[in-house]
């Protein structure tokens, strides 16, 4: 049996880029379901299914440019996280729920301070909050990102 060649940093970076692309595609596909579920759950009797597709499209337009940029950014660039992009993209749902007169759920001081523009607590804490199928791709991307970061430091003699 022939030995496999050792992966290079360039190979690892290419794998990270592939995981990032896959995660972005999956997130974009999951946003509509997340929006509909959130509006239905929080909107209750005021839920208007005809409004959901427009809100979903607007959410995609708000979220995806920043999310793709965060996923494509170099690991050492210090760019925001894709979850932060998702949390910042709740404005279309918030505006819709407010227009329907949906009451805000009670929030603790932490949520009020950290997420002042998310009174309905729509922002995800993890990729799986959008859709459970995003759990594994999110973990793969995060692990690959950490691996590339650590490998760069190790190869540069910093640890």
Contact 80/90 with Cβ under 8 angstroms?
A: no
Residue 24 maps to a domain: yes
Residue 86 maps to a domain: yes
Q: Which domain holds residue 50?
A: 12-155
Residue 109 maps to a domain: yes
Residue 23 maps to a domain: yes
- Beta carbons within 8 Å of 20's beta carbon, 6+ residues apart: 71, 72, 141
Residue 34 maps to a domain: yes
Residue 89 maps to a domain: yes
Domains: count for the chain: 1
pLDDT in tens, 91-150: 999 999 999 999 999 999 999 999 999 999 999 999 999 999 999 999 999 999 999 999
Residue 4 maps to a domain: no
Does the pLDDT value for residue 159 go beyond 80?
no
Residue 144 maps to a domain: yes
**Structure confidence at residue 3 (pLDDT):** 67
Query: Which whole-number Å values give the CA distances from 75 to 34, 83, 93, 154, 157, in the listed order?
Result: 28, 15, 31, 14, 17
């Amino acid at each position: 049996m022939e030995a496999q060649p050792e992966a290079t940093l360039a190979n690892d970076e290419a794998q990270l880029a592939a995981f990032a692309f896959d995660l972005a595609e999956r997130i974009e596909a999951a946003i509509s379901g997340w929006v509909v579920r959130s509006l239905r759950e929080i909107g209750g009797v005021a839920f208007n299914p005809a409004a959901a597709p427009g809100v979903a499209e607007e959410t995609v337009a708000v979220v995806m440019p920043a999310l793709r940029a965060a996923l494509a950014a170099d690991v050492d660039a210090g760019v925001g996280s894709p979850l932060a992009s998702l949390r910042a993209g709740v404005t279309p749902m918030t505006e819709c729920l407010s227009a329907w007169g949906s009451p805000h759920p009670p929030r603790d001081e932490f949520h009020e301070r950290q997420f002042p523009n998310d009174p309905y607590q729509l922002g995800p804490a993890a990729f799986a909050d959008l859709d459970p199928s995003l759990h594994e791709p999110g973990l793969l991307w995060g692990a690959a990102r950490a691996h590339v970061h650590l490998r760069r430091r190790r190869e540069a003699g910093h640890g």
